[in-house]
Amino acid sequence: MIEKLSNLDNYILYEHQEVSGENFDKLKEHINDTPSLHEYFKKDWNKLKARHYCGIINYDGKDFYILPKIADQDDEKNLNIFIYMLMYAYNIKAQNEQIANSKNEKSNTIFEVFIQLFVKNLFEQFQRGVYREYITEQDNLTVLKGKYLINENLKYNFTKSKIYCEYDEFSMDNQLNQFFLYAVKILMRFAKDKKLLKQCELVLDEVTCKEFNIDSLHVNFNRLNSRFKNSFEFAILLLKKSIPLFEKDKKSFAFLFKMNELFEKFIAKMVKENYDNVTIPNRNKDFGGLSLRPDIIKDNMIIIDCKYKCMSDNKEASTEDKYQMYVYANNFKFVNGTKIVNSTMLLYPKHLDDISKNIVLGENDKKVELKMRTIDLDFSGGYIEYIEEIKKRVEEIVR
């Protein structure tokens, strides 16, 4: 999927690894001087280390990768698995052929591949037809169109040469297309291959250019524009996760993901697709002074929480994690007086050992069974084969 990384070996970090070496001197200085990057790195005894975020930082014309530790000693595989997890967790629709087509001379970074997948999908939808909707307009026209506005005509028209009207225009200049134009223009700053982005910009030449606050943006989707929903969500992901770091006449950016959140979304979606009776809570539930939100509730019987931590066979779950599962079980245990939750599970990625342990927390009627499991995320193959294989492994663990 990504071109060979042999020429980039000196620009690869792993999560929790120290930022050091001759090739990282300028980047290290840049991180120290850039407040928007401080949450992604930490100072440890005067050493600068990557936190649990992975992705790419582009600075000074170079691409610096931060990769997860999934496949031992295999940079290219770690990068591809990371991309597969992102695509699946964030519902990025693509076939193996589309992914392979993104592998070209210019598309050799995570962000570039994602931009090209986004713009290809968007342009394909535009080729089927640009979304239009009726927009209410008011204008001074030479002929009557729609509704005659009496007050506006008395206010603005002193001669009979113009008629102030209100009418509905079946227009492409609507909020959804305005957002796509905004996204295309932003992504054009980062993309190396701008060809399709420029074609999309031309398609939207009749659309008003506006700024958007993507944290508060809401678009209503219906049967007429639902085919654009994936492109919309993809654009939101790219814009939210890209951090512009523009400095003087240089352009740099970061495209980073918190691995705990990615692992949680990835596994939760797997379980949801494998089983019928699965709840993925999207908001906290109040229990007196407690506000709780487990990752996964399966069959109303087991609560699963995903923890992106390095675990070995001789290592116990942290006291904090045990308390969390104990509290989950005893608060979600009954619904309308009926006992539902029988057990809990902490699910970790396999870093070293395969772990399968059962322990008991608490006593008597407050007793909680806690299962500790690991899942191996390493697998060789294309995107579709990878997802099918990991789904099987998830099913074996949580059935």
Q: Please state the domain extents for the chain.
A: 6-129+175-259, 133-171, 275-398
What mean pLDDT do residues 159-183 have? 85
pTM confidence score: 0.83
pLDDT at 268: 95
CB 21 within 8 A of CB 62: no
Could you report the per-residue pLDDT of 219-260, keeping only the tens digit for each? 889 988 999 999 999 999 999 988 776 655 567 788 999 999
Binned at pLDDT 50, 70 and 90, residue 104 comes out as very low
Nearest to 166 by CA among 138, 134, 135, 133: 138
CB 146 within 8 A of CB 135: no
Could you report the per-residue pLDDT of 8-63, keeping only the tens digit for each? 556 889 999 999 888 888 889 889 888 888 999 998 888 899 999 999 998 888 88
What mean pLDDT do residues 95-100 have? 56
CB 357 within 8 A of CB 371: yes
pLDDT at 95: 56
Distance between CA atoms of 349 and 343, rounded to whole angstroms?
20
Binned at pLDDT 50, 70 and 90, residue 335 comes out as low
Q: How far is CA 52 from the centre of its chain?
A: 15
Answer yes or no: is pLDDT of 199 > 60. Answer: yes
Binned at pLDDT 50, 70 and 90, residue 105 comes out as very low
* Owner of token pair 């104990």: 326
H helices, E strands: number in the chain: 11, 20
CB 336 within 8 A of CB 379: no
> Which pair of tokens denotes residue 174?
């609507």
